[in-house]
Structures are given as structure tokens and as C-alpha cells.
Amino acid sequence: LAFNFNVQQKFIHIYMILKKTVNNHHNYRNLGCASFNVVPGLCCGESIRVASRWLPFYSTNMSIKEVEVTFILTSAFAGFESAFISGSHDLLGKWNPSAGLPMVKDTIEENKWYIQIMLPVGEKIQYRFFSAISEPRTSLANPRHFITHYEGSSHPREIFLSDESETRIILCEFGEFEKQAFENSGWLTCQNEVLLTIDASMVRFMHPQKLHHVHLKVGAFRTMSSYDPQFSVEENTYDDFQESCWPSWYSHFKSHDCAFKENRNEMLSITPRDIWIFKAQFFTTDESIFKVEFFSISDEEGDSPVVEQIGTAIVLTSALQNYRGSIKLPICDVKNKVVGSFVAELLIIKPITDIKQTLECGFTEVKKKHNRTMNIGHRGVGQSCAKPCTLPENTIASFKAATLSGADFVEFDVQMTKDWLPVVYHDFFVKIWARKRPSNRTLNLNDHDDFSVQTIAVSDLTKDELDMLMMVDEQKFANRSDVQGNLIKDSEVDAELLPFPLLIQVLQHQSLPSCVGFMIEVKYPQKLKCGCSELYENYTERNAYVDVIVTDVLKNAHQRKIIFSSFDPDVCLMLKIKQNRYPVLFLTQGDNSRYEIYEDWRTWSSDTAVKFAFVHDLAGVAFHSEELLSNIAPYRRALKLNLATFVWGDDLDESRHREYFRNLHFDELIVMALFERFRREIGFACLLYVDQIVHNIFCVVICESMQIEKSNFTN
């Protein structure tokens, strides 16, 4: 931590008063504060910091026998990181990361951290270590830090102190537990993460012919002002108001060595094909900036390289209104003359505030079951809208059928209604069979001449409006001799067959055994390369959208295995860093001939998907089968990077393709053909009816089946 001289003097003053006050006591716990001791090899100032950090918060119970325990942790943290311990006992913060105890760094062995605590005997105490970055100007009464790494093993470390124990020294290696490595990156607790992407092909200079070997330097800074509630105007000088350097990381995405590295303010060589990603975490984004500098380095023979600054640009993270977007910025030289421009892609990820996540539960790894490839039921038992199936997709009945067929997981799609309730449904639109009511006569539902198929977005309907929809028997409806008579009331249909179940209902449904996991695909519309969009522009902001879904899962999944996934790269990043329990997969269409190509370059190929998952510490990739059947190389790269490998696609309907991927030892197959015994010759279409939703239009919502000709509905 960064303490100035005046603050240190205050600590020493407090320490001397306490020492004098407790001179006749056995130890500090009689004062109602946690005890501490000076560890050999540490300077007095280090122990004073620990004491001052503990005093306001922790106490012990005099009626319980206690033992002095010294934890010694070995880890090569970055210079701006500090070690902390958290656990099940009150003194350890009850798993609350913000109440974790800071450890003291050894002044001789820089990779060693210490802490001494009086812990009660006869009680099993669990604990984990984590590293964090602390707010240097925070108040002592309200410290702030955010987690950079933590031990994510499924079972925490344990200690049990017997009556015979006098003192204990526990040696630990960070992330090494039970001969396995369990080091996970942190999640957002009270801070925001900002990602800055610079595509070098979008950097332009006025006179590029005069430049030699262009280099880039990016630094993250935070400016302090009186707007910061933790900042004291009286106790700080003018210099404290100026920008201060802040920890950041960078990734050279197109290079072989693309993992994030600590940004040490070095100059980075750029070529037109380069893509650089910089990230930093700030307690507030209002006054956080990236300073981007460009340099030209001449390589004249016989002389040392000459470094010339081309210009500088400032990226304000507060410039974005929806936390994501592109900003074109000028590059200005020292005389404030514009010498070029570049495009900055910004993404701001905010923490979930509705639920407090702790360190009690570990991170769930994606593992094979009994060393075999696992099976995932695609939308339950298959696509009822595209292929014959006796049960409608994405319904509780379909999920039950998949579990009875031996599925290890069931996969389903989640999106948001107009009133912000996550529902299980695949398409962004529902099709409606509608005709405007004539003004001069009464509507006859059996007169079909003026009816046509229209679409309406699920996000434009509330859950109540979706529940107004009524199912229709497909075979009778196809005849259309008596539309009104063929409507099936909800009371006549098993509730488990109804579409649009709430995510909470699926998570809480007792008929779905907890041993079966859920693979939850978070739907989010993207722009297509052709210029169109899957839904419409200005869709719900990603942070708020993901927060609602993740909160529902964290509150209701309990012990069930959960895997998050999405085709949207930024949604994947948010799913990963907003929570600390469940793995996230990047779904990719890869290079294919069946689907429209997204505008986002990160979705264009399986190779790029593998790099994206690796760089951002995702659990793995769900590949599309088409590209892998012609080029298996992306799968092999994923294996080398220790990524989980899933595969999906219509090709898996053929047993030879399923066998091919199983022999390659994929982790999981997302399949439909496994459940053929639930299918019949005649397809199932979920035909729905709603009365007067908008403008006196009667609607029948149609989910198409292969058995019904589209022309039947448009004649």
C-alpha cells in the first residue's frame, strides 16, 4: 500500500498509545482487537500497518482457548498486488472478500507473505488466499480493494486446532492445493473493468512516409478530484489531484504469445495487421483514462536508434454512454497539431450489485464424466421448430425427456422479456398469424383470406402477454376449417409443455434432477457483416441484461452444475468476470456456409475463437461441426491451451460424425439424435394465439415445422 509520511506517523502514534494501555494485559485481544506480532525478517513499519488495518474490525472471544497460527504464503505476485486471507471464521471475514485480512510482505524474501492470528481450538476453520489491488487513498474505516487472483479449488483449505496445540506455522504455495493447481482470475466486486482495443489497420498518420518503425505506448491513469467520496481535499496536496498511474495489462492478440501481460509502460512495435488489447480495473470510470502515445524509431546504421514522439491521444472512459462502442480520436503532437487519428474500441464491464458473492464456493471446472465424452441435450430433446419431435423445444417436458435419455447436461436459450424477466426461448422473434379487424364487419376467425404471417420480438412482449398465448393442435390447425375450435386452452395442456418458461422456474423445478447440469446460452442480438442486425439497434444494454440472468442463476442454481455460453464475445466476457462460480464457453459458428456471418471479427473463425477464449481466460470453446470436419486444427490448438472442447451442429445427427468427435475425445457433444426414441413421423409445431395485444389485431404465433409448408400460411 502507498502510505505517505504523515499517515505513517499517525500509525506509530496509535501504536504507542495502545502499547502503553495494554502494558499490564497478556495480549491485545483483551482490548477487543485482533492480536498481532512482529514476524522475524519484517520491519516494524510493516507490522504497524497490519495492526492499524485490523484494529477497527476484528475481535476474539476471551472464553475460548486460542492458539497462535502463523500463515506463510509463497507466491510471485506483481508489484502492485498484495496477499490476503479469507475464511469461515469471524476473524477471517466470513468469506467476505472486502473483509479479508491483508498479509505482510517479507522484506528479505520478496515472494513470501506472513500473517499471525489467534484462532480458537476445537473448531474446523476453512480458508483461501487471494491477491488484490488496494485503493491507495482509501480511508482506514472503509478500505477498498479488488481481487486479481484467488484459489478456486472446489474445497477450501482447512485447519483444525486441538487442545494440545500451542503454536502452528502453516506453509502454503499460492494456488497449489492437494497436488493440483487452482489459481483463478478475480471477479468484479466493487470495481469496473475497461477494455481498450486498438486495431493497427485503423491508425492513420498525415505523413506516414516520414515515419520509421512506429511504436505504441499505452498507460492507464486515474485522475483524483473532490468528486471521489474517498478522497480528502484537506489532507492532500495539489499534486495528488493530478493523474496517477494505474495497473494495466495488454495482449498482442494476433501474435503467437497472445496471453495478457503486465503493462510496464514499454513501447510496443505495431504493424497494420496487429490488434492490441489493453485492460485495467478502476473503482470509478468517471475519471479514468488511457494515454496513447505513438513513436517513430529510426534505425540508422552506425548510430543508436533515435526515438521521436509522433503524438499523443487521450481516451476518456466516460465518453461512452452505453459502456460499449468506437471512438475516433485525433493524434496531436507536442504543439497540439493534429498529425493522425485512430479508432479506440471500448468496453466497460460493471459489477453485479444485487447479490454479494463470496469466496466460500470454489470455481466449477468443466470435466469429463468417468473419462468419457458427455452428452448435452440440445434445447432438451431437439429442435421442434425445424425437425420432427414429439415435445416442443426449450420446455420443461423436453428437458425431462433429455434427462431420462441419459443426458449429462441439457442446453437451453435464455433471453429477456419487455418487463425484464429471463425466459427460455430460442428465436428472437415469434411468428404471428394476424389480420387487422375490419371496421365495417365482425371478424370471422375462419375467414383466412386476409391473414398473413408477421413477426414480433420476444423482447417487445411482457411475460404476461406471452402467457396469454394459447397452443394449437398442428394437424387440426393445418386444415384450418375451425380455427377458433382448435385453440387449446392452457388448462388443457400440461404446464411442462408450455413455452416461455421463466429461467427461475426451470432452475427451481423439482422434476429436473440436480445431477443433470444446465448449459445456459445467453442470447444477445448481434450485427451481421451484411449490415443487417439479428434484431434491432439499441437493444438492451449488455451489463444490465447479463446482470439479471446471472443473478437469477446465482440465487437459484444451488448445487447444480452450470455452464454459461454465448455467441456474443462481449457477453462472454461479462459472464466470466461478473461471477466466480461457473465456467463460460465461447460459442462459435466458425467458417461456415449455413449461417450469416457476424460483423464482429472475433466470430469469424474457430482459430480466432480459440485465441479469444484463451486470452480472456474462458473455460473453452463450443465449435461448429462444419468447419472441424474439414479442418481439425483449431481443436488441437484448444487442447494445447488446456481449453474445454464442445461441438454442436446438424452434422451430429449422423452417428458417424458423433463417433468421429467422440474418438477425438471432445469433452461434450451438443446433440439431438441421441433422443430419437422421443421423435415421431409427424412433427410438432407450437402454434400460439393471443387476443388483441396491439391495435385490435388477432394473432396466432407460429413456430414452423418441417411438416408444414410455409406457403400454407401466406396464401
Q: How does pLDDT run across 257-314, given as a tens digit for each residue?
A: 999 999 998 999 999 999 999 999 998 877 789 999 999 998 766 577 889 999 999 9
Which cell is 295 given? 513513436
> Which residue in this structure is represented by grid cell 386452452?
489
What is the distance between the alpha carbons of residues 324 and 279, in angstroms, rounded to a whole number? 14
pLDDT digits (tens, 9 = 90+) for 149-201: 999 998 999 999 887 767 889 999 999 988 788 899 999 999 999 999 999 99
Which cell is 146 given? 479488488
Q: How far is CA 562 from CA 194, 407, 502, 516, in A?
A: 26, 14, 16, 9
Architecture category of domain 192-349 in CATH: Sandwich (2.60)
For residue 47, the tally of other CB atoms under 10 A from its CB is 18
What is the distance between the alpha carbons of residues 591 and 357, in angstroms, rounded to a whole number? 38
Which of 140-154, 240-254, 677-691 is the least confident region? 677-691
3-state secondary structure of 673: helix
User: Residue 434's pLDDT is what?
Assistant: 65
For strands 374-378 and 409-416, give the pairing: parallel
What is the distance between the alpha carbons of residues 595 and 604, in angstroms, rounded to a whole number? 11
What is the distance between the alpha carbons of residues 465 and 17, in angstroms, rounded to a whole number? 68
What is the distance between the alpha carbons of residues 554 and 495, in angstroms, rounded to a whole number? 25
User: Residue 56's pLDDT is what?
Assistant: 30
Mean of pLDDT values over 190-214: 92
User: Residue 9's pLDDT is what?
Assistant: 44
pTM: 0.83
Q: Taking Cα atoms as reference points, which of 108, 90, 256 lies closest to residue 614?
A: 256
* Contact present, 59 and 89 (Cβ < 8 Å): no
User: Residue 495's pLDDT is what?
Assistant: 83
What is the distance between the alpha carbons of residues 75 and 111, in angstroms, rounded to a whole number? 5
User: Residue 163's pLDDT is what?
Assistant: 75
User: Residue 583's pLDDT is what?
Assistant: 97
Which of 3-12, 339-348, 506-515, 642-651 is the least confident region? 3-12
Mean of pLDDT values over 445-461: 73
| Vertex 712: Cα angle to 706 and 715 (nearest 5) | 150
User: Residue 195's pLDDT is what?
Assistant: 97
Share of the chain above pLDDT 90, in %: 55
Give the pLDDT band (50/70/90) at residue 376. very high
Give the pLDDT band (50/70/90) at residue 685. very low
Taking 90 as the threshold, does the pLDDT of residue 450 lie above it? no
Same fold for the pair 5-185 and 192-349: yes
3-state secondary structure of 705: coil
Mean of pLDDT values over 444-460: 71
Give the pLDDT band (50/70/90) at residue 52. very low
Taking the domains of the chain in order of start, what are their residue ranges? 5-185, 192-349, 375-678
Taking 70 as the threshold, does the pLDDT of residue 43 lie above it? no
Give the pLDDT band (50/70/90) at residue 382. low
Q: Is 378 exposed, middle or buried (0-12, 13-18, 19+ CB in 10 A)?
A: buried
What is the distance between the alpha carbons of residues 564 and 582, in angstroms, rounded to a whole number? 7
Q: Given 3.40.50.300, 3.20.20.150, 3.20.20.190, 3.30.70.100, which CATH number is that of 375-678?
A: 3.20.20.190
Identify the residue with better confidence: 437 or 651. Answer: 651
Highest average pLDDT, of 162-176, 209-223, 553-567, 656-670, comes from: 553-567
What is the distance between the alpha carbons of residues 342 and 272, in angstroms, rounded to a whole number? 12
Q: How far is CA 66 from CA 61, 122, 278, in A?
A: 9, 9, 47
Share of the chain above pLDDT 70, in %: 73
Q: Which amino acid is at 475?
A: Q
User: Residue 6's pLDDT is what?
Assistant: 45
What is the distance between the alpha carbons of residues 705 and 713, in angstroms, rounded to a whole number? 12
Taking 90 as the threshold, does the pLDDT of residue 435 lie above it? no
- Please list, residue by residue across 389-418, b when 16 or more beta carbons sit within 10 angstroms of its beta carbon and e when fewer do: bbbbbbbbbbbbbbbebebbbbbbbbbbbb
Give the pLDDT band (50/70/90) at residue 525. very high
Average pLDDT score over the chain: 80
* Contact present, 520 and 412 (Cβ < 8 Å): yes
Which of 273-287, 504-518, 549-563, 667-681 is the least confident region? 667-681
Which cell is 699 given? 394473432
Give the pLDDT band (50/70/90) at residue 225. low
Query: How many helical (H) and strand (E) elements, i.e. helices and strands, does the chain have?
Result: 14, 39
* Contact present, 562 and 517 (Cβ < 8 Å): yes
Identify the residue with better confidence: 131 or 136. Answer: 131
Which of 437-446, 632-641, 680-689 is the least confident region? 680-689
Taking 60 as the threshold, does the pLDDT of residue 129 lie above it? yes
Mean of pLDDT values over 128-152: 84
> Which residue in this structure is represented by grid cell 441419459?
406
Taking 50 as the threshold, does the pLDDT of residue 539 lie above it? yes
User: Residue 243's pLDDT is what?
Assistant: 54
Give the pLDDT band (50/70/90) at residue 568. very high
Which of 44-53, 79-88, 126-135, 656-665 is the least confident region? 44-53
What is the distance between the alpha carbons of residues 702 and 385, in angstroms, rounded to a whole number? 9
Q: Taking Cα atoms as reference points, which of 578, 602, 555 lies closest to residue 185?
A: 578
Q: Given 1.10.150.120, 3.40.50.12500, 2.60.40.10, 3.90.230.10, which CATH number is that of 5-185?
A: 2.60.40.10
Taking 90 as the threshold, does the pLDDT of residue 204 lie above it? yes
Question: Largest Cα–Cα distance in the chain?
Answer: 99
What is the distance between the alpha carbons of residues 333 and 380, in angstroms, rounded to a whole number? 59
User: Residue 452's pLDDT is what?
Assistant: 66
What is the distance between the alpha carbons of residues 432 and 690, in angstroms, rounded to a whole number? 9
What is the distance between the alpha carbons of residues 715 and 55, in angstroms, rounded to a whole number? 79
User: Residue 531's pLDDT is what?
Assistant: 87
